[in-house]
Chains A and B, each alone.
Chain A
């Protein structure tokens, strides 16, 4: 995993211009992770589409209250999984998010964990809904 001392250019780009920010009405999967006490809260919304029997992430949006790294990792994960098959999106690790951002400072690695956790839980939420 890439570690950088400061925020990379990529991180700052995402803070300035977050991608896929907002809410999806009637999402197929949603999860909120983190808590106000620790300071970072992320909510990830998923819209899932089936094509030829395969599930795709048709739309992904995030809402985040948090520091620069929290915003950047949420924004980055949406760009990484949007349009991808669910089976592929599921495999995205927090390392992959941090690497895609050109690395994160050591003290901010937990933000990438939070983003990965939000995706995992949103997918779990979708699966639970479709089971019924």
Chain B
């Protein structure tokens, strides 16, 4: 059976070049980077080379790059590590952040270690710059706004927010979760005006289980994982050498192909949108022309998302949904609700996220198969 993978915002495969670059660090150069012998030093050099590649990609210094187990850990460290020990600091974030940010903020609130403002978004999912300005207080220490939303692809005006924050109070730190942006957008930290940036390898053809926190020199972080002195004393634990090498290789590949891949993927996405919108009772979430090139999310009336997902999977097509049944929490997507959609609309959400290896024929196949699945499920539903 044909297999059409359209869930790249969930995860990507490991690129062959990446796997090849990683392999020697499992069984050949397997030393512990903390050891001064040649085995250790070989591994250490590999980690430092990867750090340089990430630094180059972000326009940062290698000393400002810290490897973690993924974006979630990077985000936890950025938020908790920054506010620890401060007197009831104030954090501003958005209501459509990834759970890694939202749950971290809620945890800090619960502990009484911070007060948090969750900014609303407009119908396209955008944070209003005015809201950021109005919400900043003297005790605000951190603003955390994601670059690209994972559920529907909206791109936040990070550079503008960065400028605004620094104009009001240059001491406020600005963090962005760039997990969904790395693959296709410019992530230069200077032009974005961010002090901290989190990312995850497995969204751009590196393996799962490795990520990065960029933190600007001068941002004093308190480590959240105690132990040895790895990663400049900020993240204890023996470095995951092969995965770090893999992330370095993957980010190097992204650097080379970013612009052409973004164009290609966007073309496919537009074809998909045109096709899917032919189906009655289907609408697109947000403003696709202004969104990230790889994500298109639809709301299908009178059908539940997970059921569509399962039937598409039977046809060899992988997509995702923000319905309650896929969250494990019995609540529909917090992102769609924050954008003003009703729960009954959000239950019918379907996210397609494309990648460089998808083809026009695959999109044609999806456009052919989807209407039948929607019709089948609508027929099954009771008339209300």
Q: B-contacting residues of A (Cβ < 8 Å)?
A: 7, 12, 15-16, 18, 21, 32, 36-43, 63-71, 107-108, 110
Assuming A39-B324, A64-B382, A110-B330, is B307 touching A71 (CB within 8 A)? Answer: yes
Number of residues on chain B facing chain A (CB within 8 A): 27
Decide: B380 and A107 in contact? CB cutoff 8 A.
no
Decide: A36 and B380 in contact? CB cutoff 8 A.
no
Decide: A15 and B310 in contact? CB cutoff 8 A.
yes
Chain A residues closer than 8 Å to B314, beta-carbon distance? 16
Chain B residues closer than 8 Å to A68, beta-carbon distance? 306-307, 310, 325
Decide: B382 and A63 in contact? CB cutoff 8 A.
yes
Q: Beyond A68-B306, A68-B307, list 15 extra A-B contacts (CB 8 Å).
A: A15-B310, A21-B380, A32-B382, A38-B324, A40-B304, A40-B325, A41-B382, A43-B382, A63-B380, A65-B303, A66-B304, A67-B307, A67-B325, A107-B325, A107-B330
Decide: A65 and B304 in contact? CB cutoff 8 A.
yes
Chain B residues closer than 8 Å to A107, beta-carbon distance? 325, 328-330
Minimum C-beta distance from B328 to chain A (A): 5
Decide: A39 and B344 in contact? CB cutoff 8 A.
yes
Chain B residues closer than 8 Å to A63, beta-carbon distance? 380-383
| In the complex, per-residue mask of B369-384: 1 if CB is within 8 Å of any chain A CB, else 0 | 0000000010011111
Task: Please list the 3 inter-chain residue pairs (A to B) with the smallest Cβ-Cβ separation, ordered nearest first.
Answer: A67-B325, A65-B381, A63-B382
Decide: A39 and B343 in contact? CB cutoff 8 A.
yes
DSSP majority for the A interface? mixed
Chain B residues closer than 8 Å to A32, beta-carbon distance? 382
Assuming A36-B344, A39-B343, A39-B344, is B307 touching A66 (CB within 8 A)? Answer: yes
Decide: A65 and B380 in contact? CB cutoff 8 A.
yes
| In the complex, per-residue mask of B310-326: 1 if CB is within 8 Å of any chain A CB, else 0 | 11001000000001111
Decide: A65 and B302 in contact? CB cutoff 8 A.
yes
Q: A-contacting residues of B (Cβ < 8 Å)?
A: 302-307, 310-311, 314, 323-326, 328-330, 332, 342-344, 347, 377, 380-384
Chain B residues closer than 8 Å to A18, beta-carbon distance? 380
29 contacts between A and B (CB under 8 A): A12-B310, A15-B310, A18-B380, A21-B380, A36-B384, A38-B324, A38-B343, A39-B304, A39-B325, A39-B330, A40-B304, A40-B325, A43-B382, A65-B303, A65-B304, A65-B380, A65-B381, A65-B382, A66-B325, A67-B306, A67-B307, A67-B323, A67-B325, A68-B307, A69-B325, A70-B304, A71-B380, A107-B325, A107-B328
Assuming A21-B380, A36-B344, A37-B343, is B311 touching A67 (CB within 8 A)? Answer: no
Tell me the bound Cα distance from A63 to B381 in angstroms: 5
Decide: B347 and A64 in contact? CB cutoff 8 A.
no
Minimum C-beta distance from B179 to chain A (A): 25
Cross-interface CB contact of B344 among A7, A37, A43, cutoff 8 Å:
A37
Chain A residues closer than 8 Å to B323, beta-carbon distance? 39, 67
Tell me the bound Cα distance from A16 to B304 in angstroms: 15
Chain A residues closer than 8 Å to B328, beta-carbon distance? 107
Chain B residues closer than 8 Å to A42, beta-carbon distance? 382
Tell me the bound Cα distance from A71 to B376 in angstroms: 12
Decide: B325 and A108 in contact? CB cutoff 8 A.
yes
| Of B305, B310, B324, B326, most A-chain CB atoms within 10 Å | B310
Cross-interface CB contact of B381 among A64, A67, A69, cutoff 8 Å:
A64
Minimum C-beta distance from B307 to chain A (A): 6
Decide: A39 and B347 in contact? CB cutoff 8 A.
yes
